[in-house]
Amino acid sequence: MAAQIVDIDEERLLRHFCLDAECKQVFDWLVKQGHPRPDGFHERLALAADLREKGNRKYQASDFTSAMMFALGALHCIDFSQAKSMLQSEDEKQEVLKALLPVMSNLSVIFLKRGDAYNAVRSADLGIDRAKKYQQQGGKEADALLAKLLFRRGQAKAQKKDFAEARTDLREAARLMPADKEIRKLFE
């Protein structure tokens, strides 16, 4: 059996979507925008929330490149290494999950708007995995967040012409949020 080496200082969320050079672009872009990532836990979450909101405004203005950069910047802020995560309290871990889910949903829809169904599915997959964890830990908004992520993944799979899997995701999203008109419209 071969030994496996794990880098406990490695941050993985941003690298889920970006190669090293692209990660550096995000880091440099954040600094250029006047948003270097702080060291403190609460400061990082606050900056992530601020960047997510700025990204939402860019999305509303149909500036999907800037929206993506703000969302990736927010993701970088809440991307804690394994070592730092192990030192977090259970409440802090819950806060990170709560902050991560809307960022993943935003990234999924931004990738969709940019015609990148592959990364839209990847961001929704990661978000769905974390939403289920958040749900198990008693997160209050878990069903709504999970439904939104399933909806986004269903849209992305439909864009990839994977209609059977898209329908499965949309059915589950409709089950979780039966009153949501947008989900119902796409499902039907």
Q: pLDDT of 67-106, one tens digit each? A: 999 999 999 999 998 888 888 999 999 999 999 999 999 9
Q: Identify the pLDDT of residue 8.
A: 52
Percent of the residues in the chain that have a pLDDT greater than 70, as a whole number: 94
Res 117 pLDDT > 80: yes
Has this prediction a pTM greater than 0.85?
A: yes
Lowest mean pLDDT among 2-6, 89-93, 129-133: 2-6
Burial class of residue 157, CB neighbours in 10 A (0-12, 13-18, 19+): buried
How far apart (Å, rounded) are the C-alpha atoms in residues 92 and 64? Answer: 31
Lowest mean pLDDT among 111-115, 161-165, 182-186: 182-186
Confidence at 3, pLDDT banded by 50, 70, 90: low
Burial class of residue 121, CB neighbours in 10 A (0-12, 13-18, 19+): buried
Q: Identify the pLDDT of residue 187.
A: 64
Confidence at 61, pLDDT banded by 50, 70, 90: very high
Of 15 and 7, the structure prediction assigns the larger pLDDT to 15
Average pLDDT, the chain: 90
Q: Which residues contact 140 (CB under 8 A, 6 or more apart)?
A: none
